[in-house]
A = this chain, B = another copy of it.
Amino acid sequence: MENSGFCNDNYTSETSDDDLVDLTGATCDFPEDVPYLDGDDSAGRSKGGQAQNGSVDVLDLLQGWGSGVGTYDDFNTIDWVREKSKDRDRHREISRKRRQSITALLLSVSDAFSGWLLMLLIGLMSGALAGGIDIAAHWLTDLKEGVCLNGFWFNHEHCCWNSKETTFQERHRCPQWKSWAELTVGVTEGASAYVVNYLMYVIWALLFSFLAVFLVRAFAPYACGSGIPEIKTILSGFIIRGYLGKWTLVIKTITLVLAVASGLSLGKEGPLVHVACCCGNIFCHLFTKYRKNEAKRREVLSAASAVGVSVAFGAPIGGVLFSLEEVSYYFPLKTLWRSFFAALVAAFTLRSINPFGNSRLVLFYVEFHTPWRKATRLGRYPVLEVAVVSLATAVLAFPNDYTRMSGSELISELFNDCSLLDSSKLCDYGPLAKGGEPAGNLSEGTVGQAERPAGPGVYTAVWQLAMALLFKMAITVVTFGMKVPSGLFIPSMAVGAVAGRLLGIGMEQLAYYHHDWDMFHGWCSPGAHCITPGLYAMLGAAACLGGVTRMTVSLVVIMFELTGGLEYIVPLMAAVMTSKWVADALGREGIYEAHIRLNGYPFLEPKEEFVHKTLATDVMRPRRSDPPLSVVTQDGMTVEELEGLISDTSYSGFPVVVSPESHRLVGFVLRRDLVISIDNARRCQEGIVGVSRVIFTEHTPVEAQGAPPPLNLRAILDLSPLAITDHTPMEITVDIFRKLGLRQCLVTQNGRLLGIITKKDILKHMAQMANRDPDSILFN
């Protein structure tokens, strides 16, 4: 288990808030041996912070007793209701003070605008980072091929910019740029040059990928993968300390550049979402309002994920919709507006940094990680795994033009339509055979205006593309879950684009040679140009990505923002919809949901409806064979008895009842709060001993003469636990949990407390029901 601390392995929280085993039954293998470089720090800070704020009531009553009441352990689920109440308390406090002094008024105004300032900062920072990553990745990618004599820090394009000796068509060939073969053996052509270049390409690729996996392994294990499944889980209310910390940010940014430059079949879009969320989380520490409240912070993170997609594709509206549709759990309208603002700021920051000026081109990349890799033995040796995959990728990718180029270059080449000046192999068409102009220079202006027979270049391209398709499909499946930052958007788009372009060329040639076929009749007259292979590539890319992620509206909007042009929106929609239907018929989960399920994160999918006819009584604990429910009585237990209950059980909270006989519900008390309060009382409050009575009532009763003073803990009692009846259908219960963001819910029968349902009980029940009746949710 030496290397098990990485992000794609199964996880079970040992300190989880629930007493249940993990859904997938695997053991906990989050990295115990790797320090949470950022976690300790932020955990410590937020602990102190939250206790200061806490619930105002608790603070007043506990009067500075230590800290920790109202905070959460790592790998726990937050209580949305409590967090939102806390924020409203804080807000009410500020509003109340506002009328008292000008300082307080200014504070309240600055508090109101801090959200906007935060958005501005996230947008600027994320845009700048994305721009930096673009530039660095470009430079390192070119370094695999050669070096610039003017200065090694120039990339190929920059190096040749100032060269006046090149024509537009030969703009990438200039004397300042030397390939490795030229530098070492002094030849530019021939077998020896090819071998040297090949070798250098492989060496650099290996070096970059090794460096990437080493950095991730050594400094920030959370920096691997795309991060989107984890971010979805965090946004749903789970706590993973350090996942969005500053070390993760730094390492992810650096290793993302290396991973992209190494030429592995991965993209930078998903990781950019993670990077933006790290920025969001870090900037949250500047503002008390967001630092101290887990719910408010998640609003910011929702906006940050929109920023991530915005900088990944230059698509601010698509980013907001992606956050809404794919990532976010709690997305109030206020967040919609703020996300939009932040996404715009980020997109414009990126655009103003981007030194290439070719905004459409740069905005093209993707990510991949499918779950089957679990089975490989290599998974246990992440560094070796990366080295092997990287070697295979480099060796196999170099000989084929279409795999050697980066994913984004490939996609933009495939989307491209053949027009004037296009020297691509894909546009090497033969002369017009019938009814057209003569071939040659004169006809260049009409290239693409009419169907023409494919030339030898096109045939070569088709074979290379077919090989590239097979290679990309295979290598992407192997690459997806490696221990480096890796995204899935670009590889899946590239696969789809290659398939689409091949189909498009096929259709085009069919239309040329068989104009008279029924399928072309009426809309494709001879000599006209009716098939656009570039459009086929675009639709293929969208369909493939849609099938992998199950994105819908956001994907269409992203594609439309990428390509600019409302006219393609209808075919795009048709492609995305078809691919979603086909994919749903094969299995209902998108890649992120599958990832979440495989990792056993406690995530209550908001999209899927629960359709089974079970009742709350079937799910609640205790079951019939279990020992009775552990409850606390409101005035009948001593400190010792409570301590015994705490040590005997591992429940994260206990219902408080009037008496054990009546089982009439009074409230709910959290284990963590109880432990902290009793410890503090024993240390700081005079006269509290083991036999002191613990009281949860409003008025402390008078104790018999000689008895120790009672300990009143009403301050930590949650007086408004939600209760449902035992006959409540589970479909309604699931809805209540989802919409209110509950951690647990009490179950009553005819007014008596009967049991408790936790979020994990629900997840377990849903998994059971899905296994029993797998296709019941298909035609939903």
Residues of A at the B interface (CB closer than 8 Å) are 81, 84-85, 88-89, 91-92, 94-95, 98, 108-109, 111-112, 316-317, 320, 324-325, 332-334, 336-337, 340-341, 344, 348, 552-553, 556-557, 561, 566, 569-570, 573, 577, 606-607, 609, 611-613, 616, 657-658, 662-667, 719-725, 727-729, 731-732, 735-736, 739-740, 748, 750-753, 776, 779-780
The answer to whether B750 touches A336 (Cβ under 8 A) is no
Instruction: Please indicate which of the listed interface residues A317, A569, A728 has the most CB atoms of chain B within 10 Å of its own CB.
Output: A317
How many copies make up the complex?
2
Residue on B nearest A663 in the bound complex, by CB: B751
**Would you give the shortest CB distance from A611 to chain B, in whole angstroms?**
6
* Alpha-carbon distance between A711 and B728 when the two chains are bound, in angstroms: 24
**Would you give the shortest CB distance from A766 to chain B, in whole angstroms?**
14
7 A-B pairs besides A337-B553, A667-B725 with CB distance below 8 A are A89-B613, A317-B317, A340-B556, A348-B570, A658-B751, A719-B727, A748-B751
Contact of A344 among B570, B616, B720, B748 (CB under 8 A): B570
**Would you give the shortest CB distance from A456 to chain B, in whole angstroms?**
41
**Would you give the shortest CB distance from A368 to chain B, in whole angstroms?**
23
The answer to whether A665 touches B88 (Cβ under 8 A) is no
**3 closest cross-chain pairs (CB), A and B:** A664-B751, A719-B727, A720-B728
**Would you give the shortest CB distance from A235 to chain B, in whole angstroms?**
15
The answer to whether B664 touches A85 (Cβ under 8 A) is no
The answer to whether B570 touches A732 (Cβ under 8 A) is no
The answer to whether B325 touches A336 (Cβ under 8 A) is yes
Contacts of A333 in B (CB 8 A): 325, 606-607
**Would you give the shortest CB distance from A323 to chain B, in whole angstroms?**
12
Contact of A108 among B317, B557, B607, B779 (CB under 8 A): B779
**Would you give the shortest CB distance from A351 to chain B, in whole angstroms?**
10
Contact of A732 among B98, B332, B616, B720 (CB under 8 A): B720
Q: A750 and B658 in contact (CB under 8 A), knowing A91-B611, A325-B333, A735-B740?
A: yes
* Alpha-carbon distance between A662 and B316 when the two chains are bound, in angstroms: 59
**Would you give the shortest CB distance from A515 to chain B, in whole angstroms?**
27
**Would you give the shortest CB distance from A355 to chain B, in whole angstroms?**
20
Q: A720 and B727 in contact (CB under 8 A), knowing A91-B780, A336-B553?
A: yes
Contacts of A557 in B (CB 8 A): 317
The answer to whether B611 touches A95 (Cβ under 8 A) is yes
**Would you give the shortest CB distance from A600 to chain B, in whole angstroms?**
24
* Alpha-carbon distance between A727 and B697 when the two chains are bound, in angstroms: 13
Contacts of A84 in B (CB 8 A): 731-732, 735
Contacts of A325 in B (CB 8 A): 333, 336
The answer to whether B552 touches A337 (Cβ under 8 A) is yes
* Alpha-carbon distance between A207 and B704 when the two chains are bound, in angstroms: 91
The answer to whether A776 touches B95 (Cβ under 8 A) is yes
The answer to whether A724 touches B720 (Cβ under 8 A) is yes
Residue on B nearest A775 in the bound complex, by CB: B95
Contacts of A85 in B (CB 8 A): 729, 731-732
The answer to whether A729 touches B735 (Cβ under 8 A) is no
**Would you give the shortest CB distance from A686 to chain B, in whole angstroms?**
30
Contacts of A722 in B (CB 8 A): 722, 724, 736
Contacts of A341 in B (CB 8 A): 573, 577
* Alpha-carbon distance between A719 and B723 when the two chains are bound, in angstroms: 13
Contacts of A776 in B (CB 8 A): 95
Give 5 CB contacts A-B under 8 Å.
Answer: A657-B751, A663-B751, A665-B750, A666-B750, A720-B727
